[in-house]
Amino acid sequence: MYKIQLMDNFTPESTRALSQDSYFIEQTERPNGMMVRSSIVADQQITRDLLAISRVGVGVNTINVEKCTENGTVVLNTPGTNANAVKELVVASLLIAVRPIFTAVKQVKELRGSHILAESEAIREKLIGHELQGKTVGILGLGSIGKQVGRICYELGMDVLGYARSPHDLSFLTQVALTELLKQSDFIVILLPLTAETNHLLNDKAFNLMKSGTCLLNFGRDQIVDNQALLAAIDQGKIAQYITDFPQAEFIGHDKIIMLPHIGGNTHEAIKDGEQMASRHLRNFLLYGTVRDSVNYPNARLLFQAPYRLTLFYQDSKGIWAEIVAILAQYELEIGDMSSNRKNGNVYTMIDLDTINQEKIEKALVEMTELVPVRRVRLLTKPVGIK
Ligand SMILES: NC(=O)C1=CN([C@@H]2O[C@H](COP(=O)(O)OP(=O)(O)OC[C@H]3O[C@@H](n4cnc5c(N)ncnc54)[C@H](O)[C@@H]3O)[C@@H](O)[C@H]2O)C=CC1
Ligand SMILES: O=C(O)CCC(=O)C(=O)O
For the stretch 270-298, pLDDT in tens is 999 999 999 999 999 999 999 999 999 99
Q: What pLDDT, on a 0 to 100 scale, did the predictor assign at position 386? A: 58
- Ligand 1: residues with CB < 6 A are 57-59, 79, 82-83, 86, 141-146, 164-165, 191-195, 197-198, 219-221, 245, 262, 264-265
Instruction: Name which residue sits closest to atom 7 of ligand 2, judged by CA.
Output: 59
Instruction: Name which residue sits closest to atom 1 of ligand 2, judged by CA.
Output: 265
Ligand with an atom nearest the CA of residue 85:
1
79, 116 Cβ separation under 8 angstroms: no
| Prediction pTM value | 0.95
User: What dihedral angle (degrees, nearest 10) is formed by the CA atoms of 141, 142, 146, 150?
Assistant: 120
Phi, psi of 257 (to 5 degrees): -125, 130
pLDDT band at 71 (very low <50, low <70, confident <90, very high): very high
Ligand with an atom nearest the CA of residue 79:
1
Mean pLDDT on 202-225: 98
- Lowest-pLDDT choice from 7-16, 57-66, 375-384: 7-16
Strands 174-175 and 187-190: unpaired
Instruction: Name which residue sits closest to atom 39 of ligand 1, judged by CA.
Output: 193
Mutate to test the pocket of ligand 1, among 147, 191, 271 (most ligand atoms within 8 A of CB): 191
- The residue among 77, 27, 29 whose CA lies nearest residue 52 is 77
- Integer Cα distance of 155 and 179 in angstroms: 25
Angstrom distances, CA of residue 10 to CA of 53, 266, 269, 282, 387: 15, 13, 13, 14, 21
> Per-residue pLDDT for 175 more than 80?
yes
Mutate to test the pocket of ligand 2, among 82, 148, 195 (most ligand atoms within 8 A of CB): 82
Q: If you average pLDDT over every residue of the chain, what do you get?
A: 96
Nearest atom within ligand 2 for CA of residue 82: 9
> Per-residue pLDDT for 20 more than 60?
yes
Q: 242 in helix, strand or coil?
A: strand
Please give the share of the chain, as a percent, with pLDDT higher than 70.
98
Phi, psi of 55 (to 5 degrees): -95, 125
Q: Using one digit for the tens of pLDDT, what is the confidence trace for 122-141?
A: 999 999 999 999 999 999 99
- The residue among 367, 337, 363, 361 whose CA lies nearest residue 350 is 337
- Integer Cα distance of 87 and 151 in angstroms: 10
pLDDT band at 21 (very low <50, low <70, confident <90, very high): low
> Per-residue pLDDT for 387 more than 60?
no
- Integer Cα distance of 213 and 227 in angstroms: 17
Q: Using one digit for the tens of pLDDT, what is the confidence trace for 346-362?
A: 999 999 999 999 999 99
Q: What is the DSSP letter of 234?
A: H
Phi, psi of 3 (to 5 degrees): -95, 130
pLDDT band at 22 (very low <50, low <70, confident <90, very high): low
Q: What pLDDT, on a 0 to 100 scale, did the predictor assign at position 18? A: 85
- The residue type found at 106 is K
- The residue among 282, 293, 294, 245 whose CA lies nearest residue 266 is 245
Q: What pLDDT, on a 0 to 100 scale, did the predictor assign at position 241? A: 98
130, 101 Cβ separation under 8 angstroms: no
pLDDT band at 191 (very low <50, low <70, confident <90, very high): very high
